[in-house]
C-alpha cells in the first residue's frame, strides 16, 4: 500500500469520529444585543416578574419575597408613573422602597456595566427597560 493510500485511509477512518463528535454545549449569553425595552425585560426580569410583569414568573415561588406586580406602579403612586424613582431603583437599588422587602432584586446598573462597560449602552438599556415597564401600566 502506498503512503498516499495509507493517508487517504487514515482520513476516511477519522471522518466518522470527527463527524460524530459533539460540540460542547453553548452557554446562554449574559448580555443580549437588543436594546429594546421589551427584550431586555423578558431576558432579565421575566423569570421573576413574569412575561406579563405581574410578579408570577417561573422562579417567583422560589424567592423569599414575592416579586412586585410592575403593572400597578403608577396606580400605587397616585396615578403617575414615577420614572425617576424607578430608574434609580433599577440602576442603584433603593433602600426606601419598603414594599420590596429584602434586596432579592438585582440592581441592574452595576450588572449591565459589568457585562458591557459602555456607560452609554448601560444608560440606554435602563432607560428602555423603564420605558417598557411604564408602557405596561394599567390605566
Tell me the per-residue pLDDT of 92-129, one tens digit each, with 9 for 90 and over: 886 555 544 455 677 888 888 888 888 999 999 999 99
| Residue carrying the nine cell digits 424613582 | 85
- Half-sphere exposure of residue 32, counting CA atoms within 13 Å on the CB side? 13
Domains of the chain, earliest start first: 34-135 (1.10.760)
Tell me the per-residue pLDDT of 7-32, one tens digit each, with 9 for 90 and over: 344 344 444 444 555 666 776 667 78
- Half-sphere exposure of residue 15, counting CA atoms within 13 Å on the CB side? 6
Answer left, alpha or beta for residue 38, where phi above 0 means left and psi between -120 and 50 means alpha.
alpha
Amino acid at each position: 500500500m502506498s503512503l498516499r493510500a495509507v493517508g487517504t485511509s487514515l482520513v476516511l477512518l477519522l471522518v466518522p469520529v470527527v463527524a460524530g463528535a459533539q460540540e460542547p454545549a453553548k452557554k446562554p449569553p449574559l448580555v443580549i444585543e437588543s436594546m429594546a425595552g421589551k427584550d431586555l425585560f423578558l431576558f432579565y426580569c421575566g423569570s421573576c416578574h413574569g412575561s406579563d410583569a405581574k410578579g408570577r414568573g417561573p422562579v417567583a415561588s422560589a424567592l423569599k419575597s414575592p416579586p412586585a406586580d410592575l403593572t400597578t406602579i403608577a396606580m400605587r403612586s397616585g396615578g403617575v408613573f414615577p420614572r425617576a424613582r424607578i430608574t434609580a431603583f433599577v440602576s442603584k437599588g433603593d433602600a426606601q422602597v419598603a414594599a420590596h422587602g429584602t434586596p432579592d432584586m438585582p440592581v441592574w446598573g452595576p450588572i449591565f456595566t459589568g457585562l458591557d462597560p459602555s456607560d452609554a449602552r448601560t444608560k440606554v438599556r435602563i432607560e428602555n427597560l423603564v420605558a417598557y415597564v411604564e408602557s405596561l401600566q394599567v390605566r
